[in-house]
Structure 1
Amino acid sequence: MKQAIGFIDSGVGGLTVVKEVLKQLPHEQIYYLGDTARCPYGPRDIEEVKEFTWQMTNFLVEQGVKMIVIACNTATAAALKDIRANLNIPIIGVIQPGSRAALKETRNNHIGVIGTVGTVQSLAYPNALRGLNQYVEVDSLACPKFVPIVESFEYKSPIAKKIVAESLLPLKSTKIDTLILGCTHYPLLKPIIENVMGDDVTVINSGEETASEVSALLDYHDLLEKQVGKINHRFFTTGSVDIFKDIASDWLDFKDMVVEHIHLG
């Protein structure tokens, strides 16, 4: 029987990481939990985010997952260290992989980060980036309007283009040549963000780098799925099943997706 990789997020954003993992590890089984009823996490108190993240983690541990990916930057900043110290399965966040990817790409050591209020206030990205390269300059910008656009399935709408253009205006006058999407919801807005920032700025989706880390860690712990057998992905949400299903089906190109509603806390 296949053991699944567990993914947790405040909503649908972590599906951007799932998409990259499925590309690299097509034989793996995925269990995904999006806490859409309590999304967004960005404006919440850090202790509340930590509590919610533990609730999601414990739910997936009860389902027997072999690894957990905290596919949410706000939750990673708040709870990764604590959860990693208290569980005996591999736990991965998205901040370190995103930071490494940005440092590979930058040509002038001037990196921008956009994220939720919680992620930006935590200084998790500047700390991670400077921990790897002490000479890097970091411009951080909170974009609190982005997550509601994605969660309401409006990320392809004209209003999305307007909000993204207005929100990113402060970064246009900086010298950044690389921009980290410091929230896993933001890759669904990536085409608009790239258009606004222009060809001179490389936009980093940390999902690809996170997927590589998932693969390496599973291999290290001898947990990689080598059997081609039947795969039974499971998706859970605390909010609207229909909205979650619409976004997940569109982003992952899954047909006949089954989404289960659960309660937490």
Structure 2
Amino acid sequence: MKRAIGVIDSGVGGLTVAHELMRQLPKERLIYLGDTLRCPYGPRSKKEIVQFTWEMVDFLLEKEIKMLVIACNTATAYTLEELQKQLNIPVIGVIQPGARAAIKVTKNNRIGIIGTEGTIRSRAYAQALTRINEHIMVTPLACPLFVPMVEQGILAGQQAYDIVEKSLIPLRSSEIDTLILGCTHYPLIKDIIQEVLGSEVSLISSSEETARETSIILEWNHLLNDSEEAPKHQFYTTGELDIFTKITEEIFHSKIENLQTVMIEKAVIC
């Protein structure tokens, strides 16, 4: 099946998922769309998040994708079930894979979650974790400053460290041994988060687990690409290309072709 896998995110964070998909599924073609113009989604209303997500999905459906990966935790929390019911292609989010990975790692059943305000407000991770293991104790924390920082390309240095350190103060007194990076932007500042919390806390990014689950779903549905041709990926952003290009090259460690800016927004929400 030569059709592409569609990947959507509120901005550049989902590129970490796209990178892992390309690593684990080297024959598959990806079409990525990051809504950097309207990022972050975290502080927005559910109505806005649902509309913006559907606008991204409609854009990718026109390109006849064979599967959709929602590489945004906030969008996953508010739209996954609806998209799975309404689309006739497989749809996967990043929350369930991340929750399963965290439960495998924790030794004391105390798991922290950091994410956008929308993701934390949805309680999607807490529900996913306790559905698997009712004895898990969850410590959620919204970190609204992280996504804007990453979208500006501030991924290292004193300014980034200060923002992370101040944001994570509430976790210092917790007894978590595992922390879910509940936003796909956060792996881009993973080293700073690790430095602030210390090596005794295991950090979980859902990217690896999401890619693994995508592979299983493609195989189960007989959708794997068996072509020997090298896939030609496409990357779209709704915002400026400069930062998007910079972060793309930082993640992929190489220059990426086929980067384009597109307009997808429809009627303004009243």
Shorter-chain TM-score tier: over 0.9
Q: Secondary structure at the match of 2:195?
A: helix
Letter in 2 for 1:187: P
Letter in 2 for 1:66: K
In the TM superposition, residue 242 of structure 1 has moved relative to its aligned partner by 1.7
Query: CA–CA distance in 2 between the matches of 1:224 and 1:84?
Result: 20
In the TM superposition, residue 83 of structure 1 has moved relative to its aligned partner by 0.8
In the TM superposition, residue 258 of structure 1 has moved relative to its aligned partner by 2.5
Letter in 2 for 1:47: K
Greater mean alpha carbon deviation, residues 229-238 or residues 255-264:
255-264
Q: How has the CA–CA distance of structure 1 residues 254 and 63 changed in structure 2, closer, same or farther, with 3 Å as cutoff?
A: farther
Partner of 1:183: 183
Partner of 2:10: 10
Letter in 2 for 1:105: V
Q: Secondary structure at the match of 2:248?
A: helix
Letter in 2 for 1:88: N
Greater mean alpha carbon deviation, residues 227-236 or residues 105-114:
227-236
Query: CA–CA distance in 2 between the matches of 1:57 and 1:105?
Result: 33
Partner of 1:23: 23
Partner of 2:222: 222
The 8 Å contact of residues 249 and 257 in structure 1, kept in 2 or not, is answered as no
Q: Secondary structure at the match of 1:28?
A: coil
Query: CA–CA distance in 2 between the matches of 1:62 and 1:112?
Result: 38
Superposed CA deviations along residues 200-226 of structure 1, whole A, max 9, x for unmatched, are 100001100001000000000011112
Residues 79-228 of structure 1: pairs in structure 2 closer than 5 A? 79-228=79-228
Query: CA–CA distance in 1 between the matches of 2:254 and 2:65?
Result: 22
**Among the aligned pairs, what percent are the same residue?**
53
Partner of 2:255: 255
The 8 Å contact of residues 248 and 256 in structure 2, kept in 1 or not, is answered as no
Q: Secondary structure at the match of 1:83?
A: helix
Query: CA–CA distance in 2 between the matches of 1:11 and 1:177?
Result: 29
Query: CA–CA distance in 1 between the matches of 2:245 and 2:261?
Result: 11
Q: Secondary structure at the match of 2:227?
A: coil
Unaligned runs of 5+ in 1: none
Letter in 1 for 2:206: S
In the TM superposition, residue 134 of structure 1 has moved relative to its aligned partner by 0.5
Superposed CA deviations along residues 186-213 of structure 1, whole A, max 9, x for unmatched, are 0001011111111110000110000100
In the TM superposition, residue 256 of structure 1 has moved relative to its aligned partner by 4.5
Unaligned runs of 5+ in 2: none
Query: CA–CA distance in 2 between the matches of 1:146 and 1:162?
Result: 11
In the TM superposition, residue 246 of structure 1 has moved relative to its aligned partner by 1.1
Partner of 1:43: 43
Q: Secondary structure at the match of 2:69?
A: strand
In the TM superposition, residue 158 of structure 1 has moved relative to its aligned partner by 1.8
Query: CA–CA distance in 2 between the matches of 1:254 and 1:211?
Result: 21
Q: Secondary structure at the match of 2:251?
A: helix
Q: Secondary structure at the match of 1:154?
A: coil
In the TM superposition, residue 247 of structure 1 has moved relative to its aligned partner by 0.8
Q: Secondary structure at the match of 2:170?
A: helix
Q: How has the CA–CA distance of structure 1 residues 256 and 76 changed in structure 2, closer, same or farther, with 3 Å as cutoff?
A: closer
Q: How has the CA–CA distance of structure 1 residues 256 and 248 changed in structure 2, closer, same or farther, with 3 Å as cutoff?
A: closer
Question: TM-score, with normalisation over the residues of structure 1?
Answer: 0.98
Query: CA–CA distance in 2 between the matches of 1:247 and 1:149?
Result: 12
Question: TM-score, with normalisation over the residues of structure 2?
Answer: 0.96
Query: CA–CA distance in 2 between the matches of 1:230 and 1:171?
Result: 45
Letter in 1 for 2:48: E
Greater mean alpha carbon deviation, residues 254-263 or residues 191-200:
254-263
Deviation beyond 6 Å, 4+ runs, structure 1:
none
Query: CA–CA distance in 1 between the matches of 2:112 and 2:189?
Result: 16
Letter in 1 for 2:209: E
In the TM superposition, residue 123 of structure 1 has moved relative to its aligned partner by 0.4
